[in-house]
Amino acid sequence: MIDKQDIQGFIKQGYGYLNYGRYLLVKIVDAAGFKQWLETHIDDISTAAQSDLKQTFNIAFTRSGLQRLSLPEDSLQSFAREWYENMVTPERSYRLGDTQHNAPENWQWGAPHQTTIDALLFGFFETSKGCKAWQQTIESFDFLEVIEVIEPRNLPQFKEHFGFRDGISQPTVKGMHKEKEKFNALATGEFILGHKNEYDEVAPCPVVNTNLDKHLQLKTNRQGDSLLGFNGSYLVFRQLEQDVHAFWDYVDQQSKDEYNKSHPQQRLLFASKMVGRWPNGKMIKPGATAQPSTGISNGPENQFTYENDTAGFGCPIGSHIRRSNPRATLDGQKKAKDAIKTANRHRILRRGRPYGEPIVSSMQADEILEKGNDDAQRGLLFLCLNADIARQFEFVQQTWLNNSKFRSLYTEVDPIAGIKPDAEHLLGNHFSIQGKPFRQRLRQVPSFITMKGGAYFFLPSIRALKFLSTLEDEA
Ligand code: HEM
């Protein structure tokens, strides 16, 4: 049994039913003041044991944040290397595709030349008034400096800005969630540190010298260290701006006939093939040319494994959802169950929300095209949780989304979220739609997303937060 009271609630759910929210990226300017406040407000942190909350509050730290709270270097070094180094080392930027116009020097926050982000304080609210009041309270603290305020926004029908239903496919965490689909229920340790993972092992967990745990908040291991990471997780945050007009304009151009006439049905089919689902969230069946009308009313479906569509005639092999979770059709495995097992070692718990106004409230392609490019800032606040950043988030991003040789494909990356590796040489710029008697190829797919900021955070357990709040300041 896992102790849900010790686990921050954001691991259990993204609180999508609460329409208002804020992500406050902060710098801790007075560690003693911050700790004092944290100690007296631990009970305000939302936990996984609570449900139907009308307002939530969660907190996560970067390395510099825990450094400011006087966590000793040996303890900091026991954290995952990716978190310790953060998202912006040159080697990591290369690995994630954060190069050229996506390079950290062009970011709005999180880059080395900008103010260091120590912590992320975030909450979701039933009312806009409650949300603003919470933000004002945090902004009034003199022990914090709010570096960036990011406002998420729920779009109609749980869609993201391109107009596709999002947040459908999620793994369930054993011990935390009810098992919806068996193949999708993953070991607790894939998302919560200190528990057994899909390898049936407990991965290394951040530790701290027990002498520092004056109030004995933390569990200890056999070596006598205190498990600071136990019941915590790593939170990946990437702000991805979406060029919605460019996306629909591109698929419109691709679907025009020889008389330069648009074909809305073909346009919708191409766009859906790129995502891998219809806008209403339904799967694309082999041979289908129009969206089934019952998507949202029937509820999300996530039972498929691609075993009935191995060739990609319905959902293309290089589409966004098939790259980000190939399910039973991962290469190199003969049996579907082994392929799923392997793919399941690279899953993430997505907690993203859009930001910015939708380009048009209907989010319909014809209206988007008619409106033209409005240059407004909008996109996806991509957040995900995982216990092993390298094996989960970074692997998906590098080896599946940004891999121009994914499975049998070549010179193409994920058409939605992939970052084109080399704009000049047009590597990775195509998109193949498998079909009979031959495949179609959309050529020179531009990049529709731009990185605007990002960081790796550690989301501590409640006990770890108590420990941090009572950690003595460095003399
Ligand atoms: C602006 C960028 C992005 C957009 C617009 C986008 C949109 C979507 C949409 C519409 C879906 C299908 C609905 C669903 O299954 O929930 C989806 C699924 C998914 N996306 Fe993204 N996404 C973006 C970026 C990313 C990134 C950067 C990653 C990972 C590095 C990612 C990982 C996933 C995963 C794992 C799934 C579920 C696949 C499955 O299990 O079937 N997405 N995304």
140 alpha carbon to ligand 1 midpoint, in Å?
36
User: For residue 172, what are its two tokens?
Assistant: 């369930």
The answer to whether residues 347 and 197 touch, using CB atoms and an 8 Å cutoff, is no
| Digit-coded pLDDT (tens) for 263-277 | 999 999 999 999 999
pLDDT of residue 391: 98
369 or 214, greater pLDDT:
369
The answer to whether residues 241 and 377 touch, using CB atoms and an 8 Å cutoff, is yes
Rg (CA), the chain: 22
235 to each of 288, 386, 391, how far by Cα in Å? 38, 7, 14
Residue at token pair 């933390």:
218
Contacts of 405 (CB under 8 A, 6+ apart): none
Domain boundaries of the chain, sorted by first residue: 4-238+454-469, 243-344+361-381+404-452
332 to each of 123, 328, 408, how far by Cα in Å? 42, 11, 12
Cα 197 vs. chain centroid, distance in angstroms? Answer: 20
User: For residue 389, what are its two tokens?
Assistant: 């950043």
Other Cβ atoms within 10 Å of 406 Cβ, number: 22
Residues 363-389, mean pLDDT to the nearest whole number: 96
pLDDT band at 329 (very low <50, low <70, confident <90, very high): confident
Residues 168-179, mean pLDDT to the nearest whole number: 93
Contacts of 471 (CB under 8 A, 6+ apart): 35, 69, 70, 71, 212
pLDDT of residue 425: 58
Round the average pLDDT of the chain to a whole number and report it: 94
| Digit-coded pLDDT (tens) for 1-59 | 899 999 999 999 999 999 999 999 999 999 999 999 999 999 999 999 999 999 999 99
Q: What is the DSSP letter of 119?
A: E
Contacts of 474 (CB under 8 A, 6+ apart): 70
pLDDT of residue 332: 67
Is 304 near ligand 1, meaning CB less than 6 Å away?
Answer: no
In the chain, % of residues over pLDDT 70: 96
| Digit-coded pLDDT (tens) for 389-425 | 999 999 999 999 999 889 889 889 999 998 776 655 5
348 alpha carbon to ligand 1 midpoint, in Å?
10
Is 170 near ligand 1, meaning CB less than 6 Å away?
Answer: no
| Digit-coded pLDDT (tens) for 445-471 | 999 999 999 999 999 999 999 999 999
68 alpha carbon to ligand 1 midpoint, in Å?
34
The two most distant CA atoms of the chain are separated, in Å, by 77
Residue at token pair 């092999």:
317
Which of 98, 166, 420, when mutated, tests ligand 1's pocket best, judged by the most ligand atoms within 8 Å of its CB? 166
The C-alpha atoms of residue 304 and residue 306 are separated, in whole angstroms, by: 6
223 alpha carbon to ligand 1 midpoint, in Å?
40
Most confident option among 238-242, 416-420, 440-444: 238-242
Cα 279 vs. chain centroid, distance in angstroms? Answer: 20
Q: Of 27, 45, 80, which is closest to residue 393 (Cα–Cα)?
A: 80
- For CA atoms 269, 322, 303, 11, the dihedral sign is negative
Residue 60, pLDDT > 90, answer yes
The C-alpha atoms of residue 30 and residue 448 are separated, in whole angstroms, by: 40
Q: Which atom of ligand 1 is nearest to the CA of 277?
A: 12
